[in-house]
Structure 1
Amino acid sequence: MHILIPLLPLLAFVVNGLFGKWLKTRAAAVSIGAVAGSCVLSLITLGRVLSGETFYGTVYEWISSGDFRASIGFNIDPLTAAMIAMVTLVASLIHIYSIGYMHGDKGFARFFAYLSLFTFSMLILVMADNFLLLYVGWEAVGLCSYLLIGFWYEKKSASDAGKKAFVVNRIGDFGFGLGIMLIFYTFRTLDYHEVFGAVQTIVGQTLSIPLYVTTIQADLTTVICLLLFVGAVGKSAQFPLHVWLPDAMEGPTPVSALIHAATMVTAGVYMVARANPLFSESSTALMVVGCVGGFTAFFAATIGLAQNDIKRVLAYSTVSQLGYMFLALGIGAYTAAIFHLLTHAFFKALLFLGSGSVIHAMSGEQDMRKMGGLRDKIPWTYGTFVVAALAISGIPPLAGFFSKDEILWQAYSHGTNYGAVLYLLGASAALMTAFYMFRLVFMTFHGKSRVETKAARHLHESPWSMVGPLVALAVFSAIAGFAGLPEAWGGGNWIHHFLGPVFGHGHEAAGGATHLERMMAGVSVVIALAGIGLAAFMYLVSPWLPGKLASGLGGLYRAVLNKWYMDEIYDFLFVNPGKRFATFLWEFVDAWVIDGIVNGTAGISNFFGERIRKFHTGHVENYALFMVTGVVIILGFYLFA
């Protein structure tokens, strides 16, 4: 049964890829049927794992060469079961939503083929029982992101965004690949159970790293973890490799939802959580993970404050929320990180699909400054969007409150300066998150209409193929948090007990400090309400204030608006020098050296040909003279040599 979970979306990809030209709109039924089938099987698998069943085995022996063996096998444990249930459920709803969103697009069948391949790739990634198969899924989701971000390839910005995502991810994937190679070099296997079971045998070992004229000794476990984390930084869009994700908005909105919620960017978080036996043995690696996550959560939130494109606000929100997950991983709170990953999937998918519904109603417009007053025109979209905005802001009893508050509590209760710094970064990001999410809500749905006349004539609620998934996701965004209802609130913290066999207790705070935990949860709610209240004051009560603040802040506002000039910095440091070097190779090496050699050979041949041709006069007496001369030379050679 387990093999059918990834196999069904793969079959849908093959069918739609080969026969999409003839299937046309029926391609949606093929993909939806396949992914829904995977979803049902995933939920059955989740039920079996809940009852105590697990599966770890080989489906097919793939490669065997000397010491190196690689198999196609699955590892079905609580972490995998939770992930595949989330991936297939969210992917199914996004597939259904895409029927209405992509209606009339000439690439309709191709789009559904790519969506199915994307789902298959993510399922392989999370179900793999070894690092090599995980890497196959890892690279496959990267390929799918390139295909889907650049889906409208006739549009230059979309094509460029696809290439940017592909290139930036190659940087992270290079480090990830080196990490997997070092794992095999160290353990002589890539199998999860064998690697994690042997971790204690390498604790304290060092690795000699040549560095210019010297050699440094580095902790082997730390080097492995940091190389793996480089891959996670690229795939999960953490600073400084975050720059590809906002540009991914050039793809169709269902793609944005799938990338940001259920696939691709969650892969890095999953990988670090899966490799927790390695990371738990390196305090240095965990500190790097936590610091990068905490800084990214804060940094991306600042950028989200000033963006005016509705999808770009959500994009930086994703980068920030992923930062929270890495912050949790960095303090050993693996369960809290996965809990937030699962709840985030629902409300972030809802936010992106809701923004797609807004864009659909606005005839393609994405600038919030040209919206306003839409709540009466698209009430279902508005209602579900507000649920998601409240959830991500951390308002109880919605899902985001329990998962985000768990991360902040774990950081606060870590009992170190490191934990305190991460808490302050997370709390600051929480304030900004609540502010920019309700800035988006108020600019889009409230206030006076700023909709242009042409778009206003076509304002309408989305069809039920789009609204239905919004309602379903709103329900999940409201109730998913109760899976992790902490004991301080009278719950059983089910998600912690469920994932306990995978993570153990990690470094997470023990229960018992119920009063303090409730107090800190109250602080989190106050922070969220402060952000929402500030947004309401600035965009509903005093709508003139944002413009005045922007003028007053001057350079700081422009820096935030321009994403702290990260793209410009990368252009200056890497892109432009790369282009100049490529131009040098083209104009000098290719045009002068390579073409010079080729053309020079032809020139030399032509030079000698011109001179030899002078001997070909066409007169018989000249040819006879040449022949006699040749005979005399040959005879002379043999007689006198």
Structure 2
Amino acid sequence: MPLLPALSFVIIVLLTRPWQKLSALVSIACMVSSCVIATLAAYGIFTNHEFTEKPLVYAARWFSLGLPGAPDLVVNVGVQLDPTSAMMIFMVSLVASLIQIYSVGYMEGDPGFSVFFSYLSLFASSMLLLVISSNLLQMFVAWELVGLCSYLLIGFYTHKISAREAAKKAFVTCRVADFGLLLGLLSLQIVFGTLDMVELSEKIHHFQEYTTAGVLTLIAVLVFIGPIGKSGQFPLHVWLPDAMEGPTPVSALIHAATMVVAGVYLVGRTMFLFSQVPAAMELVAVTGAFTALFAASIALTQREIKRILAYSTVSQLGYMMLALGVGSLTASMFHLWTHAFFKALMFLGAGSVLHALHHKADVWEMGGLIKKMPVTGWTFVIGGLAIAGIPPFAGFWSKDEILSMAFNSGHYVLFAMGAITAFMTAFYMWRLIFLAFFGDEKPENHPHESPVFMTAPLVVLAFLATVGGLVGTPWTPWDINWANWIWFHEAHHAEPNYMVMLGSVILAGAGIFLAYQLYYVDKARAKAHALADKYRALHTLSYNKFYIDEIYLWFNHSIVDGAAKLFFLFDIYIVDGIIINGIAAVTRLFGEGARISQTGRLQNYALVFFLGVLAVAVILAFTNPSSAGLMLGGVK
């Protein structure tokens, strides 16, 4: 599966780059072929219950090192398939295929068309390799390849300063987090002697034989730092909204099914580590719940269509982390699955809007688009219903599963934070929909429906966003209930919490109704402006993202740059000026003194010899006059 898109990357770069349509054909053909293989592999896994207990692993030796006085280091490379990875390969390959088809229409006429498809292929290959890795070192290599591809794709428009800066910001922020992950992986290797996930699972289950609970907690926290950066959790979420500077298909690819969910997937893959450390589980849960609420509060006031969706993604990723933190791999992976469909749908829908409006991104400057763009508009509405949690759309089932697990596990504060986030999500998403697609048309806009290459993937994703949640319902007529397949420790078959379900629907409906009252018609929008003026301080905080970016910028310029200047001055004036130059001055002083006595001139040496003899004679004259006279006579 990873080989085919990697092969298309090589073919495009070396052979077909001058021919845009051929490059797109090669990329899409390889991606769709990979999707077919993924579908067959997933079918094989999901028709054999044995793989829910024991994963299917194919591994071979990658390299080995003989270390003196220590066991040999052996690292394998291989494939690990179980229901979780089977779900991921199907979802990643399917969404990546749809995004590549969409990109044919979106990127038409762009001079970097072929290069763009080569980057998409390399990105998909890296993500698929990450998903099926059987070894954490192999996964880390794919993890870094995904980071490289995101840098290339976010900064694809190299002529834009904002795109270049956003790419650097994403790359640096994620590298900061990856340093923590790398330390965690090295610690696992040192303590347990392996990075193979099956072996690690067995050894960590009896970790007392290898280390203490404190050390294991530290390792778990270090490993979690990587997903904090990759999945945009607070406080390393700042790169993700700026990633909107890349082409819209990139936003859909990064923010829906691939890069950002890699962090969630890594935590889910290493639940055998986190489950042994209650403090680490609490950290994951609290980080997720706070991120979900924090990002939603920012999305309330944003104006750019893709930026609203970006903060929505951060918030939904927080939901996934919350589910993992309360111990439910099932709920987290279920929401990851449904989120991929409705968020990819909305990002591609936003791209269709930008394509029609010549990249006008402010939702306040849109209006009435659903009349001229019915396919884009109504599919976007389906995505809005799904993310708001309106039954029977996909987001309702997965979000309700997370809230139920938080409530049933006794995390009532985190449950309340998740419930408030659900209300806010419905409000800000339908604020976007009412402003952009309904209300009065703007006469300066001349929208038109996008070509079939762009609308066909929207229809497919809208269908999946409608029915994709049925796999997690307790009433499904088929043996595909999510809890029977994707779980950790043991499958949970909790009865549906109808109070939580009813409450979440009421909150979602209230959010949509409030958005309708404030943003549906122009007269109502005056209420929104009046409300913003009334609570100007809160609105300013939210609109400016609570000044987190500015705080980081101040810290970088004042603290980091200031410390660098101090070290520079210390180096110049203390190290170089006093220590190094002082040693040189002392050496030079002694050298100057030694040079006086060592001139190399014979007459100087004769003079010194004569003065020495004269001095000795004078001394003897005062102590032994006869010897002095004999000596002077001898000299004469």
Q: TM-score, normalised by structure 1?
A: 0.86
Amino acid at match of 1:569: I
Identify the range of structure 1 (220-229 vs 392-401) with the bigger mean alpha-carbon deviation: 220-229
What aligned pairs does 1:548-563 form with structure 2 within 5 A after superposition? 548-563=530-545
Cα offset for 1:540?
A: 1.7
Q: C-alpha distance in 2, partners of 1:592/1:99? A: 61
Change in 2 beyond 3 A, CA 1:545/1:16: same
Instruction: State whether residues 205 and 219 of structure 1, in contact with CA within 8 Å, keep that contact through their aligned partners in structure 2.
Output: no
**Aligned twin of 1:621:** none
Is 1:285 aligned to 2:280, yes or no?
A: yes
CA contact 2:192–2:210 (8 Å) conserved in 1:
no
Whether contact under 8 Å (1:310, 1:355) holds in the other structure is yes
2:436 match: 444
Q: Which whole-Å CA distance do the structure 2 matches of 1:30 and 1:426 have between them? A: 43
Matched, 1:496 2:476: no
The residue number in structure 2 matching 1:472 is 460
In the TM superposition, what is the alpha-carbon distance from 1:505 to its structure 2 partner?
2.6
Quickly say closer, same or farther: Cα 1:76–1:545, change in 2 above 3 A: same
Amino acid at match of 1:438: W
Cα displacement (A) at 1:577: 3.3
Alignment of 1:415-430 (within 5 A): 416=410, 419-430=411-422
- Paired position in structure 1 for 2:47: 51
Q: Conserved in 2, the CA contact under 8 Å of 1:369 and 1:450?
A: no
Does structure 2 conserve the Cα–Cα contact (< 8 Å) formed by 1:203 and 1:281?
no
- Inter-partner Cα distance in structure 1 for 2:214 and 2:462: 46
Matches within 5 A, 1:199-348: 199-203=204-208, 219-348=214-343
SS at match of 1:33: helix
Structure 2 residue aligned with 1:61:
62
Say whether 1:433 aligns with 2:425. Answer: yes
Counterpart amino acid of residue 445 in structure 1 = F
> Is 1:521 aligned to residue 501 of structure 2?
yes
Uncovered stretches (5+) of structure 2, i.e. residues with no partner: 580-598, 611-636
CA contact (8 A) 1:150 1:159 kept: yes
How many Å apart are 1:584 and its aligned residue? Answer: 7.0
CA deviations 1:353-395 (Å, max 9, x no partner) are 0000000000111111111111111110001100011000001
Give 2:438's aligned amino acid.
Answer: H
Residue correspondence of structure 1 range 29-44 to structure 2 within 5 A: 29-44=25-40
Deviates more, 1:541-550 or 1:97-106: 541-550
Equivalent position to 1:158, from 136, 160, 163: 163
Q: Is 1:505 matched with 2:501? A: no
Aligned to 1:91: 96
- Which of 346, 371, 374 is 1:376 aligned to? 371
Q: Is the 8 A contact 1:13 1:117 kept in 2?
A: yes
Cα distance in 2, alignment partners of residues 74 and 85 from structure 1: 15
User: What secondary structure, in the 3-state scheme, does the structure 2 residue paired with 1:375 have?
Assistant: helix
Task: Report Cα offsets for 1:549-587 as digits up to 9, x if no partner.
Answer: 111001111000001111111111234433455567789
Contact 1:205 1:220 in 2 (8 A): no
What residue identity is the alignment partner of 1:545? K
The 3-state SS of whatever aligns with 1:75 is strand
- Measured in 2, the distance between the counterparts of 1:467 and 1:349 equals 13
Q: Identify if the C-alpha distance between structure 1 residues 635 and 287 changes in structure 2 by more than 3 Å, giving closer, same or farther.
A: closer
Candidates 341, 345, 352, aligned match of 1:350: 345
Equivalences for residues 524-603 of structure 1 within 5 A: 524-540=504-520, 542-580=524-562
Counterpart of 2:187 in structure 1: which amino acid? Answer: L
1:185 and 2:181 are equivalent in the alignment: no
Match of 1:604 in 2: none
Select which of 459, 472, 479 maps to 1:484.
Answer: 472
Q: Distance in 2 between matches of 1:64 and 1:44?
A: 37
1:163 is displaced (CA, Å) by: 0.5
Of 13, 17, 38, 1:17 maps to 13
CA contact (8 A) 1:486 1:493 kept: no
CA shift, 1:65, in A, is: 4.0
Percent identity between matched residues is 47
Distance in 2 of aligned mates of 1:309 and 1:137:
32
Q: 2:393 aligns with which of 376, 392, 398?
A: 398
Structure 1: which 5+ residue stretches go unaligned? 208-217, 598-628
Q: Is the 8 A contact 1:59 1:73 kept in 2?
A: yes
Structure 1, residues 174-211: CA drift from partner, whole Å, max 9, x if none? 1100110110011101111111011132149765xxxx
Q: Distance between the aligned counterparts of 1:107 and 1:592, measured in 2?
A: 52
The answer as to whether partners of 2:61 and 2:75 remain within 8 angstroms in 1 is no
Match of residue 624 from structure 1: none
TM-score relative to the length of structure 2? 0.87
Deviation at 1:486, TM superposition (A): 2.3
Look up the SS of the partner of 1:22 in the other structure. coil
Distance across 2 between alignment mates of 1:439 and 1:224: 42
The Cα shift of 1:85 comes to 0.5
Distance 1:287 1:70, change over 3 A: same
Whether the aligned pair in 2 keeps the contact of 1:203 and 1:221 (CA below 8 Å) is no
The match for 1:124 is 129
Q: 1:584 and 1:117, CA in 2 relative to 1: closer, same or farther beyond 3 A?
A: farther
- Give the superposition deviation at 1:447: 0.9
The size of the alignment, in residue pairs, is 583
Match of 2:80 among 75, 82, 86: 75
Contact 2:2 2:125 in 1 (8 A): yes
Aligned to 1:605: none
Tell me the distance in 2 between the aligned counterparts of 1:423 and 1:34.
Answer: 43
Residue 34 of structure 2 contacts residue 93 of structure 2 at CA under 8 Å; is this kept in 1? yes
The answer to whether the 8 A contact 2:329-2:486 is kept is: no
Shift in Å, 1:504 = 2.8
Amino acid at match of 2:24: A
Structure number with bigger Rg: 2
What SS class does the counterpart of residue 109 from structure 2 fall into?
Answer: coil
